[in-house]
Structures are given as structure tokens and as C-alpha cells.
Amino acid sequence: RSSRHVCRLEIHFEDFEVGVEDMDHKYCSNGFVEIEGIKYCGRRKGERIVVDFGTEKQEINIRFHTESAVRYGGFKIQARQLDNNCDHHNSIPHEFSPGSTESCSKMHFSEKSLQILSPHYDSGSYQPFLDCEYTVRKSTSNICALEVKFDAFALEESKACYKDYLQIGEMRLCGKLPFAATRTYEFKSDEIAIKFHTDANGSDAGFVIMVKQIQC
């Protein structure tokens, strides 16, 4: 981390061909790039991910591993430290109460694909009193849908998801989803809002999702 004002790292896979990802997107064979415990393999050219530094972490680890004599194209990535919309990272209270709420700053994206993680996913559980909002805007006029792949999803379960939830458009999700479950959401306007809300009680691991804009 270059300064205390930085809160996230944006990584752009300018070119990426490393190992093989199985058809169920569960395993990497013959090699991978590991970023903060999450493995990336196969072909991912053009994708972007955003990794959260959290409140105390000073570095983000990127590890490259190969397993066989089979050769692949390799990778070229660009990493950019982000210091915008970071106020909530520098003012997190040590103890939470109904009167002290951590609000995630609203973030807007127009990339064709990117990864979104719940705050502090690498810590093993999310915090209470979160209200995060990520707005995905169409990258071009011929985009009709947003494909969301759930690489990890575990939120507190409740009837009608009234406690903790991830809301994509008008649909709320909670509980657990299988690895690499994929759902598609229609753009009813030029943007789709993704909202993450947590209440005072209960917690779980959080989520890692990959969103991809789909042409008409």
C-alpha cells in the first residue's frame, strides 16, 4: 500500500492464459495465479478485479504457480492502487452498536467484466451494519443483461432475506449458493444496482462474484 489513503487494488488482466480451468469452474490444473487466496486460471483476457486492502493490511500477495511441462501464453497484468471512496476504511469503529454504522461508499462501474468482493472477505466473515452499493452501468448501448457468477456466497439465512442479503436489481439473495452458480439479470435501464446489507446480528463468510455484461 503506497499510503494510508489507499483502500483497494484494481487489477486488469491485459492478457491472461495460465493453466486450465475445469468446465465447472472449480479447479485449476497445470498452473494458476493466486491473489489473496483466490486462484485464477484459464483465459481471462480483459477481466478486471478489485481487491480490498481492509483496515490494517499493508500489502496484497500475488503468487504464480505452474505444475507441468505444458506451456501456456502466460499473463500480463496492470495493478492500480485506488484512493477514491475510501472514507469508510479510515473511520471504522472498533466496536459496533446501532448508533455506529459502517457504510460502504457508493461505487460505479462500467467495465465489461469485474470482480466484486464483500468488505473484508479475507478475514473470514463480514461485519454488522453494512450498506454497500455497487452500480454497474452498461458499457455500450447494445448490452442487454448482466451475468453474475458466484465464486463464493455465504450470507446469514432468513425468511425473505430480511436480515443480511445481496440484492441484485429487485431480487434478494441470502443463505448459501453452490460454487460457480451463475444467474443472469436483465438491464431494465442503463444500470443495475447491487446492494449488500447486513444487520446487527449473525454473520458468515460473505461473497465473491464475477459480473459480466452480455450483448443483445
- 214 and 136 in one domain? yes
**Cα dihedral 193, 202, 176, 64 sign:** positive
Task: Write down the pLDDT at residue 141.
Answer: 93
Residues 129 and 209 in one domain: yes
Could you tell me which of 40, 28, 50 has the C-alpha nearest to residue 134?
50
Identify the bridge partners of residue 192 per DSSP, sorted by sequence position. 136
Pick the closest to residue 163 from 132, 140, 197 (CA basis).
197
- Tell me the average pLDDT across 116-128: 83
Q: Are 184 and 145 in contact (CB under 8 A)?
A: yes
Return the pLDDT at 57: 77
Q: How many domains does the chain have?
A: 2
Cα separation, 189 vs 88, in Å, equals: 29
| CATH number for position 127 | 2.60.120.290
Asked if residue 67 and residue 144 are part of one domain, the reply reads no
Considering the domain architecture, whether residues 100 and 86 belong to the same structural domain is answered as no
Model confidence band, residue 38 (pLDDT cutoffs 50, 70, 90): confident
